[in-house]
Amino acid sequence: MAIKTQPVTVNLGPQHPSTHGVFRMRVMFDGEEIVDVEPIFGYLHRGSEKLAEERTYTQIITLTDRMDYVSSMLNNQGYILAVEKLAGIEPSPRGVWLRMIASELQRIASHLVATGFLLQDLGALGTPLIYAMRERENILDLFEMLCGARITNSYLRPGGVFMDAPDEFWPALDRGLDDIVNTIDELETYLSGNEIVFSRTKGTAVLPPELLINASITGPMLRASGVDWDLRHRAPYDYYDKISFERILHTASDNYARYWVRVQEARESVKIIKQCIEQIEPGEVRPSFDEVPRLIRPPAGDAYAAIEGSKGELGFYLVSDGSIAPYRMHVRASSLINLTLLREMLIGGQFGDLFVTFGSVDLNMGEVDR
Amino acid sequence: MIGLGLPRGFVVTLKNFIRPPVTEQYPDRHVGLLGAAKEAGMNPFQFLVKKPADSLKAIAGLATVPVAVKQSPRFRGNEFTYFEDRCTACASCAKYCPLGIIEIVSVPGKIDAQEGESYKLEVFDIDIGRCMFCGLCVEACPYDALHMGTNFERSKYVRDELVITKEELFDAPKRPSAFYRPQFEEKGFDPFKETIEDFHDAGRHEQKTYDELKKKWVDER
Ligand code: SF4
Ligand code: SF4
C-alpha cells in the first residue's frame, strides 16, 4: 500500500552545525526524498573584493587570509602570484620553495578538515574529526614557527616570503611529515574499509563528468570523476614543474570517490614536500626593497593567476590603474563554483544523504561569500 | 575485505584510547597529589607532612597548576614592544597598518647641533581592539623601534581600555617577538623567559655599514 505523502518545505541553517558555517538551504521533501533545494548564501559577506580597492598590494594579503580560512596559505599564494604577474616581479628561489612547502602543508590540513567533517556529517560523531584535527594542530604549530600565526598567516610577500624558516623548523617538519603519514594510514584503516562508510557513501550523489566540466567544477570533485585536471600539472606555477607527483583519479564520481581523492592527495602532498626539502637551497627569501619596494605600484593593466587550491582552481584577477591600490580585484572562489551543482547532487536523494553530499563538496563559507 | 573493516576500525580507536592525551588544558590543569607535590618541588611524603591542607585538596582532585602554553618565539601577539628612544615619529607604521589603528601625533622637537632637527612624539596609540596582529606595522618600522609582543591575555570589560598608549607601551614588560627581527633568533633570545629593557641590547636587523650609507646617500647623488 502506497502511503500518501505531501511535500514539506524545511529551512536548514544558517545557524546549523552541519552547514559548515552560515549556509542556508530551503529544502522540499516528499517523505524521505528530496524534491527541491534552494541554496541561499551571503550571510558571511564581508566585501573583501571592495575593501581591496582601498588597500595597498601588501595590505590585501591580510584580506586573502580571511577568505578561505582553513587554507590561508593557499589564498596567499594565489594572490601573490597575481601580484607578481601584474608587477613583473621575479621571485627569490628560496622564497618560492618555502611558500610551496607552506601551501602543501596547508593543503594537507584542509583535506584533513574536509575528511573529518565529512565523517562527522556521516554520523561518526567526533572520533575521525578529532583524529584529523589533532594532525592539523601539528601543521598549525609548524605555521606558528614559520610566521607566528596559526590561521591568519600572511606569510607570503610579493617575491617570496617575509622571513626564512627558523632552524628548529626543519627537524619539526620531518617529524610532522611522518606523523601525517601515520595519521592518514590510521584514517584509512579506520574508514576506507569501513562497511558503514561504504554503504553510506558509495553510489550516492553521482555526477557525470560532462556535467562537472560544463559547470566548471574543479579540484578533488572533478578528479573524483576521472577527469585529469590539476593545475599543478596542467599549468605549473612556482616550481611545480620541477616536482614529480602522481595525479589522483577516481572514476566513480560519488561521495566515496571524493573522500578517497582527498585522502590520497594528502599523501601526495607529503611526497611533494619531501621533494621540496631536497631541492631547497640557501639564499635570500625575498628580493631586496630596492627591487621590490614596500609600496608596489604596478603599471596599468590586468593579470589573472590561478593555483590549484585545496578546493579547486583558486584564481585572483587584479586590475591596476597604476596607483598603489588595485582598481578592481576579483576572486574566482572555487567553493562558490563547486556549490553550483548542489541541486543536481541532492534532488532525488534521501534526506539522510543531504549533509554527506554537502560535506563532500568541501566548501568554506568564508570563500563562498568573501 | 567486507566484514573486516569494522573490527580493524575498532583496533585503531583502541590504540588511540590508550595513547597519552594531546589536549592542553588552559589556563589551569587539574593535578593529583603527585603532580601538586612536583609543582611545589618536594616529594609526596614531604608535601603530605608540610602542607596537609593542600594535600587534602590535591587528593580530592581540586588542586590546579597553571599551564605554560608552548609558543613559538615568532608568535605575533599582544603588548607591542616599543623603544621610544629609537622612534623618530616617521609614522611608517601608521601608514602601513591595513586598518589604520595606529594614531601618531608629533610636534617639532629640539634642534641638536650634531643630529639636526628632531620630532617629538606626543601621541602613540594602538587600538588593540581592532588589531588583527598581522605584523605589517613591525615590518614597516625602519628603525626597529616597534616589535610584536608575545602575550595573548588582554581581556578587558571596556573597549576603550584596549587602546594602548605610549606610556603603557613604555612601562610594559619588553618581551619582543622574533617576528621580522632575525637578530633575536640569531642570539637565541627567548621572549618567554627574558626581557629586553634597553634598546641597545635589541640589535638592528639590517644595519647598513658606513660605506654602504655613504655610497647610497653621498656618492650616488
Ligand atoms: S599588527 Fe597589523 S593591524 Fe595591528 S597595528 Fe600592526 S599593522 Fe595594524
Ligand atoms: S615606524 Fe617605527 S620609527 Fe616610525 S613612527 Fe612607527 S615605531 Fe616610530
Which ipTM value was assigned to this complex? 0.78
Ordered structural domains, chain A, with CATH: 12-21+30-35+57-369 (1.10.645.10)
Q: How far is CA A365 from the centre of its chain?
A: 12
The cell for A47 is 566585501
B164 lines ligand 1 (CB under 6 A): no
Give the per-residue pLDDT at B26. 77
Residue A20, min C-alpha distance to chain B (Å):
23
A10 vs A35, A319, A343, CA distance in Å? Answer: 11, 42, 15
Ordered structural domains, chain B, with CATH: 25-67 (no CATH), 80-206 (3.30.70.3270)
Residue B2 has pLDDT above 70, yes or no: no
B95 lines ligand 1 (CB under 6 A): no
How many Cα atoms are found within 13 Å in the side-chain-facing hemisphere of A78? 31
Interface test with B, best of A58, A125, A141, A192 (most B CBs within 10 A): A58
pTM of the model: 0.85
Interface of A with B in 163-202 (CB under 8 A): 163-164, 166-167, 186, 189-191, 193-198
Give the per-residue pLDDT at A65. 87
pLDDT: is A269 or B7 the higher one?
Answer: A269
Question: What is the residue-wise DSSP string for A100-167?
Answer: HHHHHHHHHHHHHHHHHHHHHHHT--SHHHHHHHHHHHHHHHHHHHHHS-SSS---EETTEESSPPPT
Across the interface, whether the CB atoms of B5 and A194 are under 8 A apart is answered: yes
Chain A residues in contact with B15 by the CB 8 A cut-off are 186
Cell 601526495 belongs to residue? A268
The number of C-beta contacts closer than 8 angstroms across A and B is 88
Mean pLDDT by 10 residues, chain A (370 residues): 78 78 84 84 86 89 87 89 88 88 90 85 78 87 87 87 85 88 83 75 82 87 86 85 85 85 88 88 81 84 88 89 88 86 82 82 82
Give the per-residue pLDDT at A235. 85
Chain B residues in contact with A153 by the CB 8 A cut-off are none
Identify residue A324 by its one-letter amino acid code.
Answer: I
DSSP-assigned letter for residue A86: H
B169 lines ligand 1 (CB under 6 A): no
Residue A164, min C-alpha distance to chain B (Å):
9
- With the most atoms of ligand 1 within 8 angstroms of its CB, the residue from B76, B92, B93, B101 to mutate is B101
B213 vs A248, A286, A287, B203, CA distance in Å? Answer: 54, 21, 19, 18
Q: Map A24-81 to HEC letters.
A: EEEEEEECCEEEEEEEECCCCCCCHHHHHHHCCCCCHHHHHHCCCCCCHHHHHHHHHH
Across the interface, whether the CB atoms of A186 and B132 are under 8 A apart is answered: no
- ∠ CA B179-B177-A287, rounded to 5°: 15
Ligand 2 centre to CA of B97 (Å) is 12
Give the per-residue pLDDT at B201. 72
Ligand 2 centre to CA of B88 (Å) is 6
Give the per-residue pLDDT at A317. 92
Residue B1 has pLDDT above 60, yes or no: no
Chain B residue with Cα closest to A325: B98
Cα dihedral across residues A290, A296, A297, A298: positive or negative: positive
Residue among A146, A166, A190 whose CB faces B12 most closely:
A190
Give the per-residue pLDDT at B22. 79
A304 touches chain B (CB under 8 A): no
Ligand 1 centre to CA of A310 (Å) is 28
B56 lines ligand 1 (CB under 6 A): no
Give the per-residue pLDDT at B217. 72
Chain A residues in contact with B5 by the CB 8 A cut-off are 193-195, 197-198
Identify residue B194 by its one-letter amino acid code.
Answer: E
Give the per-residue pLDDT at B172. 78
* Relative orientation angle of helices A127-147 and A93-122, to the nearest 10 degrees: 160
Q: Whose CA is nearest to atom 7 of ligand 1?
A: B97
DSSP-assigned letter for residue A251: S
In this predicted model, what pLDDT tens digit does every residue of B145-185 receive, in sequence order?
A: 888 888 887 888 888 888 888 888 888 778 888 888 878 77
In this predicted model, what pLDDT tens digit does every residue of B100-129 receive, in sequence order?
A: 888 888 888 777 767 667 777 888 888 888
Interface test with B, best of A55, A59, A184 (most B CBs within 10 A): A59
In this predicted model, what pLDDT tens digit does every residue of B21-78 receive, in sequence order?
A: 777 777 777 777 777 777 777 777 777 777 777 777 777 777 777 777 778 888 888 8
Identify residue B43 by its one-letter amino acid code.
Answer: N
Beta carbons of A318 and A326 less than 8 angstroms apart: yes
A137 touches chain B (CB under 8 A): yes
Residue among B1, B8, B72 whose CB faces A145 most closely:
B72
* Relative orientation angle of helices A354-361 and A255-279, to the nearest 10 degrees: 20
Give the per-residue pLDDT at A259. 85
B104 lines ligand 1 (CB under 6 A): no
Ligand 2 centre to CA of A13 (Å) is 47
* pLDDT over 70, % of chain B: 95
Chain A residues in contact with B98 by the CB 8 A cut-off are 55, 59, 62-63
Residue B19 has pLDDT above 80, yes or no: yes
Residue among B13, B133, B148 whose CB faces A127 most closely:
B13
Chain A residue with Cα closest to B70: A141
A290 vs A286, A293, A296, B135, CA distance in Å? Answer: 11, 6, 11, 21
B97 lines ligand 1 (CB under 6 A): yes
